[in-house]
Amino acid sequence: MKQLFAIFVSLVALVTYSQEYSYQYITQTQGLSNTFINSILQDDRGYLFVSTGEGIGIYNGIGVEMYYKKNKLVDDYVSASFKDSKGNLWFGHIQGGSSIFYENRFAHVFIGAGIGSQINDIDEDKGGRIWFVSQEYGLYYFTENNDKGFFSKPSSDRLYYSLHITEKDDFLLGTDKGIEVYNFTNDADGDHLNKVQNIGLSEEAQMASIIAVNGSLTFAISINGHAYKITNKNNIYKSERLQFFNLNSEIIVTEAYSAKGYLWISTLQNGLLKCSIQDDQIFIIEKYNKSSGLKTDAVNTSFVDREGVLWIGTFGEGLASKEEDLFTYYFIDKKINHPISAVLANKTNLFVAGKSKIEHFDKQNVFCYKAYDEQNGIPKDEITDLIFDKDSNMYIGTTLNGVYQLKKGEDQFNPIYISEDNLSKTIADLEIVENSLYIATLNGAYRYNLETGGVNIFNITTGLPHNAIGSIFKTKDNRVIIGTNSAFISEIKDETVYNYPIKDGIEVIEVNDIFDDENGDIWFSSNGSGIFKLGVKTCFNINTDFGIMSNYCNAIRINDLGNIWVSHNEGLSKISLADTSVQVFDQYFGLNYRFLRGAIDIVDNEIWFGTENGVVLYNSDKDFKNKVPPITSFKFLTINDSAHQIKDEIHLDYGTYKFGFGLAGLTLKGAKKVKYRFILEGYDEEWSPLTDKNSIYYTRMNEGEYTFRVKSFNADGTEGTEIQMKIIVAIPYWQTWWFFAACVVSIIALVFVIVKFRERSFIKYQEKLKRDLALRTREVVEQKNKIEAINKDITDSINYAQRIQGSILPADEYLEELFPESFIFFRQRDIVSGDFYWCGEMSGKQVIVCADCTGHGVPGGFMSMISHILLREALTEESLDNPALILQQINSKIVEVLKQTDDYESNRDGLDIAIIVQDKSNMKVKFAGAMRPLYIYRNGIRTIIKGDRNSLGGLQNGKIFETKEADVQKGDKLYIFSDGYADQFGGPHKSKMKIKVFQEAMDQFSQIPMKDQEEAFTTFFYNWKQDMTQMDDVLLIGIQI
């Protein structure tokens, strides 16, 4: 078994010698500051931490962001790193200090004062202490709680390089002179690091690494490449030297690392060695160094990430990554291109052909059995195809020299004659069908009988659409399909050519290659139009619209996974038969060389492609999806184009905003092909379609609650974690409940205040009013008292005046004497009156006067007094004969007495007057009236003797008064009166009585005895007046003849 394994490994070693891997490099171009890598780690978020001599680079799959001393690292030179059980990252520096990365930031742990020597290793004990190995100083530890302990030079004269804390919490300390075992105790006396033993080694060597491999084996390796298995029995550690099986040179080891069941040994002169440990031997399975395409042999460290990507920390060429190889590269010549124009493979053999050369390899070992060249009869020409018949004879096609045959067991190629035509010597394809060799030429398709040597030709004369044949293919059910440079794809069946239109039967399609799938469908590639599936009437076409790399398709094959593989000049396209989804492979996958047209072969799970420099092997066994979900994160957040701290929930003031979300789907495998789906809840109605945009912006975002949710998908479509961020833009304050509440409270408070204020003001006002009222009342009372006093004086005066005025009025007895049947209704409005009456007898004539002076009250009283005097002066015998003279005299006297003029400003006082002079002797009465009439009733008939239409006094304008004389009879009733009676307001309508009502009343009352008339007129007057104010002095005089 051991020998078999050794043989296997040695064969693998041969393979590795001949093949090259594709590496991706991260250098200054991606932002790495320094290409000397000291250690590599991946944090729980998926970021890669690359420690260098000039800071730490954090790689996110796209680029590197560097962190330095100014970013809180203790020093720029980072010599070691370690991820603890809690996910914190610890870093050791060249001058002995240490830094930590936690909560997404770096911080100092210990600046190294007093240590001064490089940290070479870091490990964690069972108590969570992080132990740092300082080269000259020894050990020190820190804990998350900032506890610390320092152990200077645990052994004298030793330098310290590596540390492994075992499951039993024993410290295996690698020094420059082997391994020491320590035991750490922590008791009341403090910390103790007690040396337990030295582990005997075969040398006193500097120990590069001590690690656990596969969880059970403890492995130590010195910088000289001496490897040891460390075992523990009865608490005694022992070492056992492990031999490298297939290492034939000295190595200088920088680090050993265990991952994926392998031991990864970094060396400075031999690159990275991928090893397995078997039967106490170390087998190098693969070498990643210059021989396998790595830019350098100096590897300082290595790391396998969570997606299985191998990271190689080189010393001088940056960080290299190597994914699981979908493609393997053979025969690449770095100096001159090594074109492979034809390739043929079976389970064990591989034939590659170029110009004038065919090489036969053992496929497994890539060991060249045999090479054929011009010495073997191959023409000096490019070989376009090669094929074997059932008898293992080989046939090759050439560009200009036709077909050659190499018979089994022979060493010499011989030409096969098929035609003299030169075009028939340009061979595009060969195909074996039963015992015939079909040859695709520019002169048609030839069929060469392998037994008889007979030749048939199929060309435009026999029904082919074109003589330039691109490909001939035998399907799984033995149909012979021919592709030409025409609008048709052809089939030879029973010696007859059948042509099927590719598109419309018009458009010319240059067919390059043909293949069939498991369902028997025939697919062919074209030069400029993509690939086609042969259909009944037309062909199904897949082109760049479907995502294939180019419409210029060289070779085509369909593999066991149901994928169509198409080679282009620039790379490969893989099309799924199931859903026609497309994946392209280009330089990113290391496909750096042009794929040649017919150089392809498929066998089992392998497809071999010939390129202008070497061969590319695709192995479908390695073609599996990366099912490790990418880790979604926010790369940045901008609000109004300014960077904003990323938080789960962000609150913004009311306003209009622009949100910018930077997305990261962290995968270190195909990072550039990460896609995203996102939704902004509160704005978007549904999730976005898949997009490769990693910066999403929303503009004019107003108040509301938004939740941005995003998911990432890796290159193989594996869905990553979903993350979200809530952004709440505040509603305007005037729409908030608290504002409403505040407003209500404020209004209530305001109302309350106003009410209180008004109440207080009102009270104050009331008090003021009270005070004012009291004051005013007092004033009023005083005034009242004054007025009352004055009024009393006035009233007394007026009353006295009334007495005086009354004294000028004739006594009732005198009136009755002169006019026995008479009455006087005299109601002055005030105490003194403007109306007055007078009666007298002169010269046997009885005179009675009714006067209505201007105004009433005191003025009227004055006027009445003046008028009375003037009246008395005017009464003469002469005037009694002509009462008009009385009026004239009074008139002129008033003007004189009152100094009246016709000026506008002069007073206009005067009086209306009616004077009756009765002369019983001749039963005549004479009447003179100024603005007052005389009513005479005889037998109930009213006769009105109008007075002159001039008042006495005031404007004169040539006033003329006239005396009227009337014969009277006994019983005639004569009435004179002032206007006060008829002007009184009242009655049912509160209106002026007017002369008409007065006349009607007089008409009625004149019928009753004189003595009763006073009462009648009185009653009528007061009934009319009711409670209304008397408007004027009232004087009514009635006499009966």
Rule CB under 8 A: which residues touch other proteins?
Answer: 28, 34-36, 52-54, 76-77, 94-95, 116-118, 135-136, 159, 176, 268-269, 296, 298, 315-316
Cβ nearer to other proteins, comparing 51 with 471:
51
Report d(CA 591, CA 584) in Å as an integer: 11
Cβ nearer to other proteins, comparing 78 with 952:
78
Complete edge-to-edge strand list for the sheet that includes strand 89-93: 78-83, 89-93, 98-102, 105-110
Minimum Å distance from CB 338 to other proteins?
A: 26
- Which residue from 387, 401, 406 is spatially nearest to 355, judged by alpha carbons? 401
**DSSP β-ladder status, 367-372 and 358-362:** antiparallel
Cβ nearer to other proteins, comparing 176 with 703:
176
Report d(CA 1003, CA 937) in Å as an integer: 8
**Share in percent of the chain as helix, strand, coil (round to 5):** 20, 45, 35
Minimum Å distance from CB 35 to other proteins?
A: 6
Minimum Å distance from CB 269 to other proteins?
A: 8
Torsion over CA of 1010, 1012, 1013 and 1015, rounded to 10 degrees?
Answer: 150
Minimum Å distance from CB 334 to other proteins?
A: 18
Cβ nearer to other proteins, comparing 69 with 658:
69
Minimum Å distance from CB 418 to other proteins?
A: 56
Q: H/E element holding 396?
A: strand 394-398
Complete edge-to-edge strand list for the sheet that includes strand 444-449: 427-433, 436-441, 444-449, 455-458
CA distances from 516 to 46, 199, 480, 557 (A): 43, 66, 11, 8
DSSP 691: B
Q: H/E element holding 707?
A: strand 704-713
- Which residue from 195, 196, 161 is spatially nearest to 178, judged by alpha carbons? 161
Cβ nearer to other proteins, comparing 76 with 385:
76
Cβ nearer to other proteins, comparing 251 with 1034:
251
Cβ nearer to other proteins, comparing 154 with 670:
154
Minimum Å distance from CB 249 to other proteins?
A: 13
Minimum Å distance from CB 251 to other proteins?
A: 14
Minimum Å distance from CB 225 to other proteins?
A: 14
Cβ nearer to other proteins, comparing 77 with 618:
77
Minimum Å distance from CB 349 to other proteins?
A: 38
Minimum Å distance from CB 271 to other proteins?
A: 12
Cβ nearer to other proteins, comparing 269 with 349:
269
Token pair belonging to 469 = 């044949």
DSSP 1029: P
Minimum Å distance from CB 82 to other proteins?
A: 19
Cβ nearer to other proteins, comparing 42 with 267:
267
Look up tokens 């591989």; give the residue: 350
Q: H/E element holding 872?
A: helix 857-874
- Which residue from 315, 211, 313, 325 is spatially nearest to 259, judged by alpha carbons? 211
- Which residue from 649, 675, 643, 673 is spatially nearest to 661, judged by alpha carbons? 643
- Which residue from 529, 531, 506 is spatially nearest to 521, judged by alpha carbons? 531
**DSSP β-ladder status, 1034-1040 and 822-827:** antiparallel
Cβ nearer to other proteins, comparing 39 with 554:
39
Cβ nearer to other proteins, comparing 85 with 248:
248
Report d(CA 935, CA 929) in Å as an integer: 12
Q: How many CB atoms are closer than 10 A to CB 302?
A: 28
Burial degree of 190 (CB within 10 A; 0-12, 13-18, 19+): exposed
Q: How far apart are the first and last CA of the chain?
A: 182
Minimum Å distance from CB 265 to other proteins?
A: 17
Cβ nearer to other proteins, comparing 98 with 405:
98
Cβ nearer to other proteins, comparing 237 with 315:
315
Look up tokens 């029904």; give the residue: 463
Cβ nearer to other proteins, comparing 34 with 833:
34
Q: Name residues whose C-beta falls within 8 Å of residue 35's C-beta, 6 or more positions apart in sequence.
A: 27, 28, 52, 314, 316, 317, 318
Minimum Å distance from CB 157 to other proteins?
A: 12
Minimum Å distance from CB 153 to other proteins?
A: 14
CA angle 662, 664, 666 (to 5 degrees): 170
Minimum Å distance from CB 90 to other proteins?
A: 19
Token pair belonging to 428 = 């595009």
Minimum Å distance from CB 255 to other proteins?
A: 15
Report d(CA 84, CA 130) in Å as an integer: 8
Helix, strand counts (H, E) of the chain: 8, 78
Token pair belonging to 475 = 């399907």
Minimum Å distance from CB 731 to other proteins?
A: 56
CA distances from 965 to 926, 960, 968 (A): 4, 16, 9
Q: Which residues pair with 642 in a beta bridge?
A: 639
Minimum Å distance from CB 476 to other proteins?
A: 56
Report d(CA 1004, CA 997) in Å as an integer: 10
Q: Name residues whose C-beta falls within 8 Å of residue 857's C-beta, 6 or more positions apart in sequence.
A: 798, 829, 830, 831, 832, 833, 834
Cβ nearer to other proteins, comparing 120 with 951:
120
Cβ nearer to other proteins, comparing 33 with 405:
33
Cβ nearer to other proteins, comparing 28 with 231:
28
DSSP state string for 279-315: TTEEEEEEEESGGGT-S-S-EEEEEE-TT--EEEEEB
